[in-house]
Chains A and B, each alone.
Chain A
């Protein structure tokens, strides 16, 4: 009896050991690229060419980060990533706010102010989710040309807002459909109008899905390369395009440490957003599925 319990506990421990062991091994495997990026960015170029790739840097130096941020040459201008980082911010902030805002209103109308053909319009909007980027490049370029927005940041804001509406509408529509219609009716009887109901009743309940929409849009827009490279040039490029130019255009020895630092700089905002708002993300994604 006593020994049985002990052996059961032992086999349990072995099981735990196995689970943790394999999880740690897998996590290490997936973290490997990040590790290589970090250590490489902290090494001097000589050390890298001396043969150390995965190992810990002998002398930690932030020179590569400094260079990537403000000295690296992109094309002919040696300004580092800084102006392009600012470009991306100027693009991503309005685009996220606009696409999330419009998605929220769309979702609200499609669920609480049903009109004939609402479902058809929603279906058409959903097409946008499945439309590949490449398919819209040419027509989009024409539209931007007519609007005199070619090659500008506001042009990119427009492109990303339009492209994002499909996704944000889907998010908000699926969220608002779980909110009982009686709530809107009660507000109507209380005397609230269309926007009053939206801002006072619907939006406050939608916090989780607002977070989801913002994270999703932020990641998509910040990481976008194709629209950036297609619709902008030179000084108005977003950071992803500038990063590509740093990495792919080199004179002399390839500066791995600067490339890695630049890639890290370009990735930091999305990482930051996930870490800060990640728990809302999961909660918001499941909120539509499970009522309550």
Chain B
């Protein structure tokens, strides 16, 4: 059993509150990603879990045990750092052994643990090298090896991939995912890269200004973001947030979006409860539409917008078409060569999956 419960955790530096009562709880084997821009408090939170920063308020429990006043070594955790933090004067083997040596593990057991970790990470041939003789990816692997031999209740990763080049980052990402599947340990992983969060996590906590904005599984965060901030942060290209007006016609909600130089688009079939529809009828709202919810309208399409395409950006597998709607620039992801720039196009919208937000507080309306 290795659960993690963070209960109203707060962090103050003098008068500056960088974490404002964060509560997250994950179960054994979960992969929690703390996602947010720099300065959102995600690394501070990780360091508080690790015991490298003190906890100003609230409680953190690892496997049911309150760890607020425990030193890092007594928390049964292992951590992988962004800069790898390998001991430069020690060989790979000594790096991996260091913690076990301090805990007084016997030589035979140490050798066995090093061998297991080295086999797992395919770095047996590197054991006698110094960190300076390793590439970035190899160093990352050693750092993970050092964490694995500890057999901790909790793995902590602090932006472990951000020092790697793009290609290697994708490879290592897969490796971390595979490792998690194989070892089944509980992981807390900090990143500002939303793709890492989507691909790795079983639970994502999107953070901003020391507050958790949304905590859920990655697909739910992507499909039904809690607010405009989360909607914009997760997904690339990000979700279109279009100012619109809510009409109610025969009891059915309709989102009305102004199209410059054309008829307003009237989208029905949107997922909105009747209470919300009544409450927001006639009000301005924000409509969130992922770029891939647009498609080139076929003959049967009922929910459509007819727009003038400004720019098309081919990405290979598909093309991004940019146009104006509701006073903002909107991106649609369509098949290659489906639309042309500086021409009119009629796009169908999968209205069942669009998301509505309150225009004032930017929270999702259900």
- List residues of A whose CB falls within 8 A of some B CB: 180, 182-183, 185-192, 196, 200-201, 204-205
Contact = CB atoms under 8 A, between A and B. Distances in A.
Contacts of B88: 183, 205
A189 B99 CA distance: 8
B157 to A, nearest CB: 13
Interface stretch (B22-30, B71-79, B269-277, B296-304): B71-79
B87 A187 contact: yes
Contact of A190 (B47, B51, B73): B73
A185 B103 contact: no
Nearest to B97: A190
Contacts, number: 60
Contacts of B72: 185, 188-189, 191
Q: Is the interface of B mostly helix, strand, loop or mixed?
A: loop
Given A186-B79, A191-B99, 5 more contacts: A186-B87, A187-B87, A188-B71, A190-B73, A201-B89
A200 B99 CA distance: 12
A196 B102 contact: yes
B50 interface: yes
Determine the interface band of chain B, counting residues with CB < 8 A from chain A. 20 to 34
Interface in B91-135: 98-99, 102-103
Nearest to B152: A189
Contacts of B87: 183, 186-187, 200-201
B89 A204 contact: yes
Chain A at the B interface: SS class: helix
Report the 3 A-B pairs with minimum CB-CB distance, sorted nearest first: A190-B99, A191-B73, A204-B89
B73 A188 contact: yes
Interface in B39-65: 47, 50-52
A205 B86 CA distance: 12
A135 B144 CA distance: 55
Contacts of A201: 87, 89
A188 B102 contact: no
B53 to A, nearest CB: 10
Contacts of B85: 180, 182-183, 185-186
Contacts of A205: 88-89
Nearest to B73: A191
B96 to A, nearest CB: 10
A115 to B, nearest CB: 13
A190 B75 CA distance: 11
